[in-house]
């Protein structure tokens, strides 16, 4: 990977009044991406390795990719505009002749992160975006210390 991106990880997922707050970052900084409840639950299940009684949407997509000889290579969160994050989902596929093809798709960061966690693929952020995201490490620490019963975490403004 180039110096234009930084590897990050999902640090925590907390419910909010309107969905879930996904805390993403590294030891230096953490920022929040708000997602709907179903994707927040999927991210949490993949992080915890929770078995599901039947396949969910992300499981179906993973099975389709696998059957086509494809997998998630990486995710790059690359933009933020009007309160919305944007991402690129990079897939690799190999055919029966062992020829490799890379496919890059526009995707929601929430779905991309869920699939990356599920398939143990890295998540990156562009350095330019990293420099401008607000550090929410203090909010993460406070929410981890207080426990679920005392969280007063809202959603996006």
Residue 1: pLDDT band with limits 50, 70, 90:
low
Q: Is the pTM of this model over 0.85?
A: yes
Q: Are 13 and 21 in contact (CB under 8 A)?
A: yes
Q: What is the DSSP string of 49-109?
A: T---SS--HHHHHHHHHHHTTEEEEEEEEEEEETTEEEEEEEEEEE-TT--EEEEEEEE-H
If you average pLDDT over residues 106-122, what whole number do you get? 96
Residue with tokens 């925590």: 12
In 3-state terms, what secondary structure has residue 123? strand
Task: Map out the domains of the chain with their CATH numbers.
Answer: 5-150 (3.10.690.10)
Q: Kindly tell me if the per-residue pLDDT of 3 is higher than 80.
A: no
The answer to whether residue 58 scores a pLDDT higher than 50 is yes
With 60 as the cut, is the pLDDT of residue 117 above it?
A: yes
């Amino acid at each position: 990977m180039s110096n234009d991106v930084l590897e990050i990880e999902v640090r925590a997922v907390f419910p909010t009044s309107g969905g879930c707050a996904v805390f993403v970052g590294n030891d230096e900084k953490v920022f929040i991406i708000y997602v709907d409840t179903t994707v927040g639950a999927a991210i949490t299940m993949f992080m915890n390795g929770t078995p599901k009684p039947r396949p969910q949407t992300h499981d179906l997509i993973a099975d389709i990719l696998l059957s086509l000889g494809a997998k998630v290579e990486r995710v790059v969160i690359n933009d933020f505009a009007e309160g919305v994050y944007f991402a690129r989902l990079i897939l690799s596929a190999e055919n029966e002749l062992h020829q490799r093809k890379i496919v890059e798709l526009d995707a929601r960061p929430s779905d991309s992160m869920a699939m990356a966690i599920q398939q143990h693929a890295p998540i990156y952020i562009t350095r330019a975006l990293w420099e401008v995201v607000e550090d929410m490490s203090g909010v993460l620490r406070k929410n981890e210390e207080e426990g679920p019963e005392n969280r007063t975490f809202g959603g996006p403004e």
